[in-house]
Amino acid sequence: MTPSRDIARLLDIMAALRTPKTGCPWDLAQDFSTIAPYTLEEAYEVADAIARGDLADLRDELGDLLLQVVFHARMAQEQGAFDFGDVVQSITEKLIRRHPHVFSDERKHTPQAVEGLWERIKAEEKAARKGDRDDQGALAGVPVALPALTRALKLQAKASKVGFDWNDPRAVLRKIREEADEIEAELDRAERDDAATAAEVGDLLFAVVNLARHLHADPEAVLRATNRKFERRFAAIERALAARGKSPQQATLAEMDALWNEAKAQERSASADTGGARRP
C-alpha cells in the first residue's frame, strides 16, 4: 500500500490495521478509552509545534492528530455507530449552521457580532440535545477531561455570563492575596494538615486563572511560556556552572540563584536591544 494525498487511502490503511487476523495486534487491542490519551497528547503536540513556529513539524503533528480522528471513526464504524463520512458530514453541517452570516442572508460584519451569533447558536444546539436531561445548569457542558487550568477558565467564563463574577481585576488580585494568606495560616498550624493545605493551593490556582481571564490571557498559554522561560534560564545556569567545572549538584543554592539573576538580566538586555517587550 503506497502513500497518498487522498483521505481514502488513510481510511484504507486504518481499516487494514484493524482487520482481525491480518491487522496490527496493537491496533486491534485498542478501544476508545485506550486511544483517548493519545488523542489528547497529539493535540498538545500540535499546540507545541505552533508555539515553536515549526511548520514542518506542525504538518506532521496535524497528520498524527488526523490519525486519531480516523482511528476513533473506524472503531465506531466497527460497532455500527458511525463512520468517518458521518464525522465529516456532522462538522460541515455545524459550520454551515453556525455561520449564517456567510451561508445565508443573515449578515454580521464585526468579530464581536459574529462571536455572539456563534455562542447563541451553540447554546441553542446544546439545549436541543439536552432535552429533558437534568444537566442544564449554567456550568454544564465543560468537559471533565480538559486540562485543569483550561477547565477552570471555561467554568469561570460560564459563571460570568450569568453575572457571577468580579468586575475589576484588582478585586481578583485581592482574592489571590486572601487565598495565599489562607495557605500561610494552614502552614502555621501546630498540626499541619497537608491535604487541607493542598486544597487551599487549589483555591489559589483557581483565583490565578481568574486573574488571567480578566486580563484576557489564556492561563495554559502563559504557563507554557513561563515553563519555557524556566527551562531556558535553568539551562543558562547549567552552562555557566559547566564553565566553572561544576554540576548543579555541586553548586550552592546561592550560587545558582545568582546565575539565575544573571540569565534574567541578560534576557532583559537582549530584549531591550532588539526593541522587544520586557520579559518578567
Per-residue pLDDT tens over the stretch 150-196: 999 999 999 999 999 999 999 999 999 999 999 999 999 999 999 99
Q: How far apart are CA 105 and CA 37, in angstroms?
A: 42
Q: Regarding the domain delimited by 7-95, which CATH topology (the fold level of the hierarchy) does it fall under?
A: Helix Hairpins (1.10.287)
Give residue-wise pLDDT tens across range 211-236: 999 999 999 889 989 999 999 999 99
Please list, residue by residue across 199-237, b when 16 or more beta carbons sit within 10 angstroms of its beta carbon and e when fewer do. ebeebbbbbbbbbbbbeeeebbeebbeeeeeeeebeebb
Pick the CATH number of 148-214 from 1.10.3470.10, 3.90.850.10, 3.40.50.300, 1.10.287.1080: 1.10.287.1080
Higher pLDDT, 129 or 58: 58
Burial class of residue 259, CB neighbours in 10 A (0-12, 13-18, 19+): buried
Cell of 215: 486580563
Do you know the residue count of the chain?
Answer: 280
pLDDT band at 278 (very low <50, low <70, confident <90, very high): very low
Average pLDDT over residues 122-148: 76
3-state class (DSSP) for residue 129:
helix
User: How many Å is the Cα radius of gyration of the chain?
Assistant: 25
Cell of 58: 506542525
CB 162 within 8 A of CB 138: yes
Higher pLDDT, 131 or 224: 224
Angle between the 84-97 and 55-78 helix axes, to the nearest 10 degrees?
110
User: pTM, whole model, 2 decimals?
Assistant: 0.67
